[in-house]
Structure 1
């Protein structure tokens, strides 16, 4: 019986050591899953705002005498505000670092095309370090959303 008791005493701190060895990998897995979920959420929100802005633009374009479509500057500003803030007049940005230059409005025949190039940035780290084994890996990449709608 004494052998079992001494065996447990030798094993007593082993679980804590194993936990400290596995913890960094578990945290990396949890944070990577959280970032991927945030990426999907922001991509979905970007698609919805671009779709809503395209609907707003398609119903507010101006038709010329010859049937050509033109976009007024005021409507263009409203569309860009819808994409950036989710409303025509708001101060809370939906997407950090999204500027007017990232939003493109185009006309192709009877269709309007709204394109947004958003550089997605992770929360936890901008780069993944390789600890001197090469160049650091940039974790940001562009999210592109394009909607084409017929002008009403």
Structure 2
């Protein structure tokens, strides 16, 4: 019976291989972790936009109907709807709900005879920046446009 020979250099080689695998795997795992975090942040901002558009259209649906003309009058609610969408309040606040969100990003429109629609457009910018430098000339934009639209019947 022949006993196996213990080769200590093989164990050292395996330890080195494990370190190489770790060095390759850690950046990939950290990149995946960052991507999952950014997707969560983007969904959180979209949720804020969606709730903001719901609040704004609820106000518009309650106050936009002109009973004397029997039609929707967007001009009398336009400013308050923009403030509700941007600041979450009928009056202008110091800070918008999301960085970079402005009144120009809010669109109030009629959707048929007795429905009103609020659309908010916002560009999500990842934490790493808005542009990824391109290696072959063109930069790669990273911003994602988020659009929250809500339609409600005028009361």
Q: Please give the alpha-carbon distance, in whole angstroms, between the structure 2 residues aligned to 1:78 and 1:123.
A: 31
1:92-148 per-residue CA deviation (whole Å, 9 max, x = no partner) reads 32221111111111124211111111122112232234422x523211121112111
1:142 partner SS: strand
Which of 13, 16, 19 is 1:16 aligned to? 19
Secondary structure of the corresponding residue to residue 6 of structure 2: helix
1:77 to 67, 79, 88: 79
Q: Matched residue of 2:109: which SS?
A: strand
CA deviations 1:52-80 (Å, max 9, x no partner) are 1100111112415221221344x322211
Alpha-carbon distance in 1 for matches of 2:16, 2:97:
48
Residue 116 of structure 1 corresponds to: 120
Matched ranges for 1:132-143 at <5 A: 132=136, 135-143=138-146
The residue aligned with 1:86 is 88
CA–CA separation in structure 2 for the residues paired with 1:122 and 1:131: 20
Within the candidate set 33, 36, 41, 2:39 is matched to: 36
Counting only pairs closer than 5 Å after superposition, residues 28-67 of structure 1 correspond to structure 2 as: 28-67=31-70
- SS of the aligned residue for 1:12 comes to helix
* Structure 1: gaps spanning 5 or more residues: none
State how far apart, in whole Å, the 2-side matches of 1:12 and 1:105 are: 64
CA distance in 1 between partners of 2:87 and 2:18 (Å): 50
* Contact map agreement 1:59 1:151 (CA 8 A) in 2: yes
SS across alignment from 1:113:
strand
Q: CA-atom RMSD, angstroms? A: 2.2
- If the length of structure 1 is used for normalisation, what is the TM-score? 0.83
Count of residues in Structure 1 that have an aligned counterpart in Structure 2:
150
